[in-house]
């Protein structure tokens, strides 16, 4: 059975010393659970110092972005090859990157390929904007985002990756409208169906699909209980250790019941 993943996508302004305090608190408040994996994604600057403080048996690290070339003169960039050994996952194509940094479908595809090439598991973010949703384009957007991003991968590589469905309008920094679990269920199933069409049922069963968008300790259970939901990508609520630990508790309890 797939593990449940609870991932914290910390904000840029969470400075290293604050992240360090947060990690300390999370060590106190989150106990290990064999069926639940807790992932922390701090800013690039904070990854290295946090990595030496972290109990790696209980927490895994993720980067929030990286550059798709492995070497060369690309002033200011950090490559996936540089992150090898430091992080287990990299978040790729988060809506903030697609919107504020104009990352295209092809940019995201190149980053997914670079992550896999360097032994890092991609956490591909997908999701439609409010405008796209209102225009009835959600399925088309998800189809394009998923198929382009994974187009260069083998079935084995796809089966090991993580895909997050994060409708842009539900993300707190873009409005934070609460998505209904029934709507989320349909889109998660659609993403898994896409994988099945391209790579077959066995691959689709293994790929881990997360939900993200204003997940907090009150809303988490509604999403985590969905059949196709393998976890949550948590932004704002992950800055508060009580909220984040409470979300992890929800995941533990649901796994216990299963
Ligand atoms: P949110 O962010 O939980 O604050 O909506 C989600 C994210 O940053 O991926």
Per residue in 27-68, pLDDT (tens digit) is 999 988 889 999 999 999 999 999 999 998 899 999 999 999
Q: Which residues are catalytic?
A: 94, 166
- The predicted structure's pLDDT at residue 31: 87
Q: Is the CB of 214 under 6 A from ligand 1?
A: yes
> Which residues of the chain are under the pLDDT cut of 70?
258
* Distance from chain centroid for Cα 239: 16
pLDDT (0 to 100) of residue 257: 81
Residue 1: what pLDDT? 76
Neighbour count for residue 57 (Cβ, 10 Å)? 7
**C-alpha closest to that of 224 among 190, 254, 180, 188:** 254
The answer to whether 91 and 62 are in contact (CB under 8 A) is yes
Residue 189 pLDDT: 98
- What sign for the dihedral angle of Cα 126, 63, 96, 229? positive
CA of 71 from ligand 1 middle (Å) equals 31
The pick from 99, 173, 217 for probing ligand 1's pocket by mutation, whose C-beta has the most ligand atoms within 8 angstroms, reads: 173
Is the sign of the CA dihedral 112, 162, 234, 214 positive or negative?
A: positive
Residue 245 has a pLDDT of 97
pTM for the complete prediction? 0.97
> Which ligand 1 atom sits nearest the alpha carbon of residue 170?
5
The span from the CA of 98 to the CA of 93, in Å, is 6
In ligand 1, the atom with minimum distance to the C-alpha of 172 is: 5
Closest ligand 1 atom, residue 9 Cα? 8
Beta strands in 46-87 (DSSP E): 59-63
Q: Which of 163, 235, 239, 246 to mutate to test the pocket of ligand 1 (most atoms within 8 A of CB)?
A: 235
> Is any atom of ligand 1 closer than 6 Å to the C-beta of 62?
no
Q: What's the CA gap between 86 and 61, in Å, rounded?
A: 8
- What separation in Å is there between the alpha carbon of 168 and the centre of ligand 1? 9
Which of these, 141, 166, 138, 149, lies nearest to 7 by C-alpha position? 166
Q: What is the pLDDT of residue 45?
A: 97
Ligand 1 midpoint to CA 73 (Å): 33
């Amino acid at each position: 059975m797939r593990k449940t993943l609870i991932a914290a996508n910390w904000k840029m302004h969470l400075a290293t010393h604050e992240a360090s305090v947060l990690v300390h608190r999370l060590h106190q408040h989150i106990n290990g659970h064999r069926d639940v994996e807790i992932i922390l994604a701090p800013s690039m600057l904070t990854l290295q110092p946090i990595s030496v403080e972290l109990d790696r048996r209980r927490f895994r690290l993720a980067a929030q972005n990286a550059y798709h070339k492995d070497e060369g003169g690309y002033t200011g960039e950090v490559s996936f090859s540089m992150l090898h050994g430091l992080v287990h996952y990299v978040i790729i194509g988060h809506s903030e990157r697609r919107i504020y940094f104009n990352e295209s479908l092809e940019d995201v595809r190149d980053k997914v390929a670079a992550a896999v090439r360097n032994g890092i598991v991609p956490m591909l973010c997908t999701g439609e904007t409010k405008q796209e949703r209102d225009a009835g384009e959600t399925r088309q957007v998800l189809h394009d985002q998923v198929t382009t991003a994974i187009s260069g991968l083998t079935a084995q590589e796809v089966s090991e990756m993580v895909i997050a469905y994060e409708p842009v309008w539900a993300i707190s920094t873009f409005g934070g409208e609460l998505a209904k679990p029934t709507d989320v269920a349909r889109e998660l199933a659609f993403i898994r169906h896409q994988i099945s069409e391209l790579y077959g049922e066995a691959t689709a069963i293994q790929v881990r699909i997360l939900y993200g968008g204003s997940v907090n300790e009150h809303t988490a259970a509604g999403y985590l209980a969905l059949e196709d939901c393998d976890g949550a990508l948590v932004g704002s609520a992950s800055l508060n250790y009580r909220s984040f630990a409470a979300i992890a508790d929800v995941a533990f309890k649901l796994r216990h019941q299963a």
